[in-house]
Structure 1
Amino acid sequence: MQLINYLNECFYTKHTLLQLSHISANKLAYLQQQKVMPTASYRLTIQTSCQSFLADHSEESVQEYYAKGYVKWLGVVEALIEPADIYQYFNKNYRLTIQQLKQQGFVCHDEKLHANIDEHITQEWQHFLNGTYGLCTASGLVQDIARKEFAITSINELIAENETHPDLVRLEKAVNLLDSASALFAPHERINSSRNRLVDQIRKKYQLTSPQIT
């Protein structure tokens, strides 16, 4: 039940997504075929078995779960219409988010976020369409995708530079950024998640403080 509770609290079912977005199931499938809308992040297969005096019965159903931010994304898709324009929206906002992080003092030297950013964003777009980022980011939207990738790369760089005595000010800032951009993850995923590895364990190892929630 923990998994079902998590999914129902943190995601929209396909039915709810369609209702809130005012589109049909056929339109959603079409947008996914056009490679402008992510597929579901979770698919829950429910098997029901019933025994009675008159007859036994069993059936199977599949429930799809989508990131809540996809209601906003579908609004973008409906407004822009053309696949090329939709990708450019993703590309532009990814770059803008990276630029804003740099202006805020975050540091990352990996060439994938500099000279090789064109190739990197193309790969990120595919992960987005596969539903990966609907699962592992807070919103499933491009801003959180860029923030998460920047934070992970920055944390790994800082640890690689000096695992024993990394720059704790920069490290704490990057960990807090990753914390804010990341999903909680489903109960069965948490032990192997980037949140556990790069937020929980890093805070514990280097005695970093968590931001105060007000």
Structure 2
Amino acid sequence: MGLSHFLNTHFYTTAELSSSLKITEDRLAEWQSLSLFPNPSYSIQNQIKCSSYFGLYECEEYTDFYARGLLNWGQLIQKHKIDQSSNAFELFRQKYCDALGRCVEKGFYTEDPSFSDDLVEHVQQVWQQFLCGKYGVISQNGLIEEALYIDLGRAIIDDITEARTASNIAAEQREQVHNAMKLLNKALAANTQAEQTESLRSKYIDQLIRKYDLSIK
């Protein structure tokens, strides 16, 4: 899949996102300046040569792309009438911790203190990464619950596999790794062709399947 097709299939342009939210592009930029809304996941600069009846000329085009799930985040900002970053963070924290609670109820567990004693500090770091556009790149849709699935799934796997360096996995732990991989599989993006080799999907799913003879099916 070519880059343009990939981005146009899985992301919104600034104009598309603003239109869907029924706001102006200037309003979206204001949200970003106030640290209420993430920056673009991808920014494309195209050098264009155009040939027409009037001759040949060159120009540049700049296009920003946002994960489609950010439409949901923008709607939450509007619904709760949020205009301060502290309130936006509190809403983000609530959604992230709610997703964590649901995973814990299903039996997901890690000894990583980021999900217990250090949870507040961890969520603050995730919020900054969310605002920078990170999760729009590494997750399927840029949703908050996907960010949690990725963080938690990686932590569980790193716990058990010693950060993917262990030579094998104990039989009683294989199901835990298997379930963590399925959690990741629900959330991780396919990524562009240029990014696939170094992607989290490659490192935490494809390579683990081969190394430990696992399957997510």
Same fold (TM over 0.5): yes
- Deviation, structure 1 residue 163: 3.7
Is contact 1:76-1:86 (8 Å) kept?
A: no
Structure 1 distance, partners of 2:78, 2:146, is 21
Report the CA distance between 1:85 and its aligned residue: 2.3
Partner of 2:148: 146
Deviation at 1:107, TM superposition (A): 1.4
* One-letter amino acid of the structure 2 residue matched with residue 168 of structure 1: R
Select 2:213's aligned residue among 193, 197, 207: 207
* Aligned-pair CA distance for 1:96: 1.5
Q: TM-score, normalised by structure 2?
A: 0.91
* Alpha-carbon shift at residue 160 of structure 1 (Å): 1.1
- Aligned counterparts, 1:22-37, within 5 A: 22-37=22-37
Q: Deviations over 1:168-206 (max 9, x none)?
A: 111110011011111111110010011101011111222
1:103-144, Cα deviation, whole Å (9 max, x unpaired): 111111111111011111111000000001011112212111
Residues 160 and 169, structure 2, Cα contact 8 Å, conserved in 1: no
> Cα offset for 1:68?
0.3
User: Aligned-residue CA RMSD in angstroms?
Assistant: 1.7
Aligned match of 2:105: 103
- Is the counterpart of residue 179 in structure 1 residue 179 in structure 2? no
Question: Which residue, 162, 169, 185 being the options, matches 1:165?
Answer: 169
Q: Distance in 1 between matches of 2:161 and 2:16?
A: 42
Q: Residue 162 of structure 2 aligns to a residue in which SS?
A: helix
Residue ranges of structure 1 left out of the alignment (5+ in a row): none
Distance 1:197 1:74 in 2: 31
Aligned residues: 211
- 1:94 Cα deviation from its structure 2 partner: 1.0
User: TM-score under structure 1 normalisation?
Assistant: 0.93
Mapped partners of 2:96, 2:153: distance in 1:
14
Query: Shift of residue 61 of structure 1?
Result: 0.6
